[in-house]
Amino acid sequence: MKPKIQDVAKAAGVSPTTVSRVLNNRGYISEEMKKKVYTAMEEINYIPNDLARSLYNKKTYIIGLIVPTTKNPFFGELTADIENYCSQRGYKALICNSLNNAEKEKQYWEMLRRNQVDGVIVCTYNRGLLDYNQHQLPTVAIDHYLSKSIPVVGSNNYQGGEMAVQKLLKAGCRKIIHLNGPKELQTPANFRRKAYEDIMIENGLSPITYEIPEDFVEAGEKVKIINKMFDEHSNIEGVFASDDMIALAVIREAEKRHIQIPEQLKVVGYDGTETIRTIFPALSTVKQPISDIAESAVSLLIQQMEGTKPVSKDEIRLNATFHSGKTI
């Protein structure tokens, strides 16, 4: 039979009320008394009921995290950092891997609401999925626009895109092509494309963008678009890819065509995750401040949950840096 709070009280020689106050951190309790209660809990192997405590405190100390896929190095690293910062602040992260499926995201969202999580961090393209005015659940989006009322945290995409194109221009490239997601997606990542177009036009050059239909499209479809780019532009000198996975796919296809990198083609990616920099350190890429993004998102969400910051349409843009590899 599982030990109860009364058993802890008996073992510690205190009242059940005192044990409850220790568990819920309510009122003044001396360190000596806390030690006495926790020692008794350990001796009789008592496990606190988090559900009961959450009902009492009206808090679950759980934050929901919806990501498109943890297979992508960027979201995998971001998830790890968010979980770490949640833990440091006394919260657990409930991770929902939606595979970028709108219906699955909706099911996860309802599950998080039913479990009465204290707040949610969302990385999704599916604008309109959440009815923020109805649920009033503290929510922060990462690098995506979900609602007019949901704050957004991400890298300074325009600054990052500008940096990438300037590096290619400085390396002598004039025929530079950009690979990005669909323009109609409601995401700050479109500022990477805007920066590319602005810098090209400022330098008297013609911007050319090829769109990857979906962010997590099958590899075969991505390769078809990259091959089309090479077939239609044999004189291409530089590629600015909107993420590192696309950049690596460009490099693979270039090698199949016996195009030498960086002598004949220079490539710059975007994200700069530790995973990519470890397995392919030669890739030149714009490095997002992933740890800072995670910390800012968790901090902003907790401010909302604790009522110390009113819910508003904030957008936090953190500057990126450049990782110089051998592809430029």
Domain pair 58-154+291-317 / 157-289, same fold: yes
> Does 157-289 carry CATH code 3.40.50.2300?
yes
**Residues whose CB is less than 8 angstroms from the CB of residue 271 and which lie 6 or more positions away in sequence, other chains included:** 73, 74, 243, 244, 285, 286, 287, 288
- Topology of the domain comprising 58-154+291-317: Rossmann fold (3.40.50)
Q: What are the two backbone dihedrals, phi and then psi, of residue 228, each rounded to the nearest 5 degrees?
A: -60, -40
pLDDT tens sequence for the chain (328 residues):
778 888 888 888 888 888 878 777 777 788 888 888 888 888 888 776 655 555 455 678 899 999 988 889 999 999 999 999 999 999 999 999 988 777 888 888 888 887 789 999 998 766 555 554 556 789 999 998 887 788 999 999 999 999 999 999 999 999 999 999 888 877 899 999 999 999 999 999 999 999 987 655 456 788 999 999 999 999 999 999 999 999 999 999 999 999 999 999 999 999 999 999 999 999 999 999 999 999 999 999 999 988 866 555 678 999 999 999 999 9
Report the C-alpha gap between 315 and 185 in whole angstroms. Answer: 17
Domain ranges in the chain?
A: 5-48, 58-154+291-317, 157-289
- Cα–Cα distance between 256 and 246 in angstroms, integer? 16
pLDDT at 222: 87
DSSP assignment of 276-326: HHHH-TT-EEEE--HHHHHHHHHHHHHHHHTTSS-----EEEEPPEEE--S
The whole-number pLDDT of residue 312 equals: 56
Q: Give the pLDDT confidence score for residue 43 in this predicted structure.
A: 84
This prediction has a pTM of 0.81
The confidence score (pLDDT) of residue 313 equals: 63
- Cβ atoms of 115 and 63 closer than 8 Å: no
**Spatial distance between the Cα atoms of 141 and 151, rounded to a whole number of angstroms:** 6
Q: What is the pLDDT of residue 197?
A: 97
CATH code of the domain occupying 5-48: 1.10.260.40
Cα–Cα distance between 5 and 103 in angstroms, integer?
42
